[in-house]
Amino acid sequence: MADTTDVRWRKSTFSGGNGACVEVAELADGAIAVRNSNNPGAGMVLFTRAEMAAWVKGCQAGEFDDLT
């Protein structure tokens, strides 16, 4: 598991009381960690910068809108 001891987690401004709470952090090796801020001990998903860029572009293009 990646070391997240000294990272700064940032919570999405779209996170709210509805259980949709997402946080991201940049790790020392440049990877991006994503976790559920309501349950941070449950683990995280790690992305390379290229993977995160592809994910964000897909979200902006509406490619995953059918999942919400």
Band of pLDDT at residue 9, cut at 50, 70 and 90: very high
How far apart CA 22 and CA 66 sit, in angstroms, is 19
- The whole-model pTM stands at 0.81
Q: For 33-68, how does the pLDDT look when each residue is reduced to its tens digit (9 = 90+)?
A: 999 888 888 999 999 999 999 999 999 999 999 998
Check residue 59 and report its DSSP letter: H
Q: In what order do the strands lie in the sheet with 22-26?
A: 10-11, 22-26, 32-36, 45-47
What are the residue boundaries of the structural domains of the chain, listed by start? 10-67
| CB of 23 closer than 8 Å to CB of 10 | yes
pLDDT for 1 beyond 70: no
String of DSSP letters for 35-52 = EETTSGGG--EEE-HHHH
